[in-house]
A and B are shown apart, each in its own frame.
Chain A
């Protein structure tokens, strides 16, 4: 399955490695990633497509636990 997630994360040291590392560790392989700083500094808007046999919601819940992740949204799920 391919899942698309959208995250708002704090723009701090290591945050992208944290998000991608957690995703891979939990069994979600990122295949497309964009990160754009938002206008009001301090936030990075991340869009990520990942492949996995596991549900997107499980990844979203783990990502939500990261201290630097402010918001997670599962955008779409495709078989």
Chain B
């Protein structure tokens, strides 16, 4: 048995069923060993899509996503996807082929130091020098990827190592996540006391709740404490979007109710979130009168950007169980709910389809098996604002890295991980062309992925910033020479339709939900779409613009 076969068996042993990749010279031994294995390899059409599909698979299933590429350009193409997984704490294992150790460091054909290149964006990485290391490396990679705060792990395998004899070696058993320690009793007691003494508490929920498998505990806590709750982009769905006390997303494109509640609060209960600049706006103006309880599995997040009054480092589930006590005062709750009731839909556009209202119509039909993936831009923020998600794994959005091109590969990963799910990729005309080649993957594997492509023939969010903050000096945002997306989809063998008016929206939504196979809906928007509200740069979150009276 060659080491490459041992590697394949080790991946099988870790419970891998699907992996996303693209072959090439240095990874040939691995692809040879794949023949006849239990692993289902999905051939993407660009390695970046392999990494992003692995990310989408991981978020949708809660399992480790695996991607594979060859050395050199294959490896560098993975880099954006690995960074995406790093910034959103997604468990991904990336396997790369490498040139033989005998010529490593000689600028050999397709040699690139991917071990060095990815060091800032991996949770850990391995350069495998000997077959004897492989069993432990693979088990460690999976354990590290899923333990504590999850993240990506790279395994770089030189070709001569992959081809070496591995007789007598066996893969190790399936890695289990090491369980995080509970927060200290003393800190929990102080947190409970702060919560019970507070008058205007707000729960601020991030992606860590879902990653820490603490959604049930979060909901029990919210039911007991009855406090208003806001989420980050990645926290969406951890709280049921239909919960009356859910005020929506906070931050730059957050809801007015969410941002005002946070700004007026006297206690922020931060749960698996990290005071990211898109959430806080001007940091020293963020929740200026609030004390902070910060619960996170990652000790390095405590006090990194905002000093906490009580830190609950460790298992979020334990923290949430301890905090599940009645707390909020009714007046504060009512004030927050009144603000929420005042929320208004943005004014409809002058022409074209009204994107936000189309998403509201989509939201009405969501169920527990419909996954929505996003690209990056105005449409992504509209999804966050207008679609009500019941579970976090139903909303896949590139938060930390903001990767245009995420939506389509993530949908592929989600669909392969959850064959029972209906997967809808909401995309924009800018983002879509960044990984449009993956329509071929949808076709090849007959995936029933739906694409809702919002087309304003511009880079909408960049255009919006240039209009508002650069004196309408529009620079390189015009995409009015976009291809005919319906014909593009059809050329890939994907049925497609176009809608240009609101009256056609109900039919489009019905098609998205009822068509059994793949479908692309090309949605024509006004070129001057705007995404409201918006907190301008270097402003506090209560200084949002709402598009009125500009």
| A residues with CB within 8 A of B | 13-14, 17-18, 21-22, 25, 58, 61-62, 64-68
Contacts and interface: CB of A to CB of B under 8 A. Distances in A.
B124 interface: yes
B224 interface: no
What's the dominant secondary structure at chain A's contact region? helix
A62 B149 CA distance: 13
B299 A25 contact: no
Nearest to B298: A65
B299 A61 contact: yes
Nearest to B153: A67
B41 interface: no
A67 B144 contact: yes
Interface string B387-410: 000000000000000000000000
A13 B298 contact: no
Given A14-B115, A66-B124, 10 more contacts: A13-B127, A14-B119, A18-B119, A21-B120, A58-B300, A58-B304, A61-B300, A65-B300, A67-B123, A67-B124
Contacts of B144: 67
A17 B123 contact: no
A66 B120 CA distance: 11
Nearest to B304: A58
A79 B144 CA distance: 37
Contacts of B300: 58, 61-62, 64-65
A66 B123 CA distance: 7
A17 B116 contact: yes
Interface of B: 115-116, 119-120, 123-125, 127, 129, 144, 298-300, 302-304
Contacts of B304: 58
A18 B127 CA distance: 13
A57 B115 CA distance: 27
5 contacts: A14-B116, A22-B120, A58-B300, A62-B300, A64-B299
A17 B129 contact: no
A13 B299 contact: no
Contacts of B120: 21-22, 25
Contacts of A65: 298, 300
Nearest to A14: B115
A65 B313 CA distance: 14
Nearest to B128: A13
Closest 7 CB pairs of A and B: A61-B300, A67-B124, A62-B300, A61-B299, A21-B119, A13-B127, A25-B120
A62 to B, nearest CB: 5
Nearest to A24: B120
A71 to B, nearest CB: 15
Contacts of B127: 13-14
A13 B120 CA distance: 15
B101 to A, nearest CB: 12
A21 B129 CA distance: 23
Contacts of A21: 119-120
A32 B120 CA distance: 22
Contacts of B124: 66-68
A22 B304 CA distance: 15
A25 B300 CA distance: 15
Nearest to A66: B124
Contacts of A17: 116, 119
A18 B120 CA distance: 8
Contacts of A66: 124
Nearest to B115: A14
Contacts of B125: 14
Nearest to B303: A58
A78 to B, nearest CB: 21
Contacts of B299: 61, 64
Of listed B300, B302, B303, residue having the most chain A CB within 10 A: B300
Contacts of A58: 300, 303-304
A17 to B, nearest CB: 7
A57 to B, nearest CB: 8
Nearest to A63: B300
Contacts of A13: 115, 127, 129
A49 to B, nearest CB: 21
A64 B302 CA distance: 14
Nearest to B126: A13
Nearest to A25: B120
A25 B122 CA distance: 14
Contacts of B129: 13
A36 B335 CA distance: 62
Contacts of A62: 300
Nearest to A57: B303
A55 to B, nearest CB: 9
